[in-house]
């Protein structure tokens, strides 16, 4: 299987380093970025998307161009930042669970659980995972460490593309 990892478009009120709230919406530039992603995608057999509004909006732009199955999955949602929402990433301590937020262990666990659920996908399929930068970093790390297999033994990994708003690997 081939995985394409993409992040949603830019959000309203976003400034570099600020943690957006869960309900953040795409800004005009973010909508254009989503439309650009939709126009340039090819060969994708299915989309798995976060249910966060910014990811759903990006996914809808893709579905306006591509007639492919789409599956929304809460395991692809961003880490619940709780009291850290709206603060600069440099001002928070992620070693301490934010009040009203989610532990890093829980976030990593649900993201890995999503990856494990993809193992039944046919080998020749190309899957777009549309989520958030944190999820994508975790997915990449898992695949680099253990390969793409349901057990922790090293195996061959799929071809991974980091698309839009994320540096290439």
Contacts of 82 (CB under 8 A, 6+ apart): 97, 98, 99, 100, 101, 102
Report the chain's mean pLDDT, rounded to a whole number.
84
> Which pLDDT does position 148 carry in this prediction?
61
Asked whether 36 and 161 are in contact (CB, 8 A), the reply is no
pLDDT score of 156 more than 60: no
Give the CA distances from residue 56 to residues 71, 77, 115, in Å, rounded to whole numbers and listed in that order.
Answer: 11, 10, 19
Asked whether 56 and 37 are in contact (CB, 8 A), the reply is no
CATH topology of domain 2-163: Rossmann fold (3.40.50)
Number of other residues whose CB lies within 10 A of the CB of residue 156 = 7
> Which pLDDT does position 153 carry in this prediction?
45
pLDDT score of 160 more than 70: no
Number of alpha carbons in the 13 Å side-chain half-sphere of residue 115: 29
pLDDT score of 155 more than 50: no
Q: CA 116 to CA 80: how far, in whole Å?
A: 21
Most confident of 20-24, 44-48, 151-155: 44-48
User: Mean pLDDT across the stretch 64-82?
Assistant: 97
pLDDT score of 44 more than 80: yes
Q: Tokens representing 124?
A: 């020749």
Most confident of 32-36, 69-73, 126-130, 162-166: 69-73
- Burial zone of 15 (CB within 10 Å; 0-12 exposed, 13-18 middle, 19+ buried): exposed
Tell me the pTM.
0.85
Nearest to 89 by CA among 22, 138, 18, 137: 18
Strands 126-131 and 2-7: parallel
Least confident of 3-7, 45-49, 105-109, 160-164: 160-164
pLDDT score of 145 more than 70: yes
Asked whether 110 and 134 are in contact (CB, 8 A), the reply is no
149 versus 54: which is more confidently predicted? 54
């Amino acid at each position: 299987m081939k995985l394409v990892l993409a992040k949603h478009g830019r959000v309203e009120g976003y400034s570099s380093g600020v943690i957006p709230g869960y309900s953040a919406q795409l800004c005009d530039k973010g909508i254009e970025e989503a439309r650009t992603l939709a126009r340039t995608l090819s060969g994708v057999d299915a989309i798995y998307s976060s249910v966060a509004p910014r990811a759903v909006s990006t996914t809808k732009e893709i579905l306006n161009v591509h007639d492919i199955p789409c599956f929304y999955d809460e395991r692809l949602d961003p880490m619940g930042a709780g009291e850290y929402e709206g603060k600069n990433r440099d001002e928070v301590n992620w070693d301490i669970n934010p009040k009203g937020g989610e532990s890093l262990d829980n976030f990593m666990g649900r993201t890995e659980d999503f990856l494990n659920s993809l193992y039944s996908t046919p080998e020749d399929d190309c899957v777009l995972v549309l989520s958030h930068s944190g999820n994508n970093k975790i997915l990449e790390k898992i695949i680099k460490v253990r390969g793409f297999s349901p057990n922790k033994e090293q195996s061959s990994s799929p071809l991974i593309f980091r698309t839009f708003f994320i540096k290439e690997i």
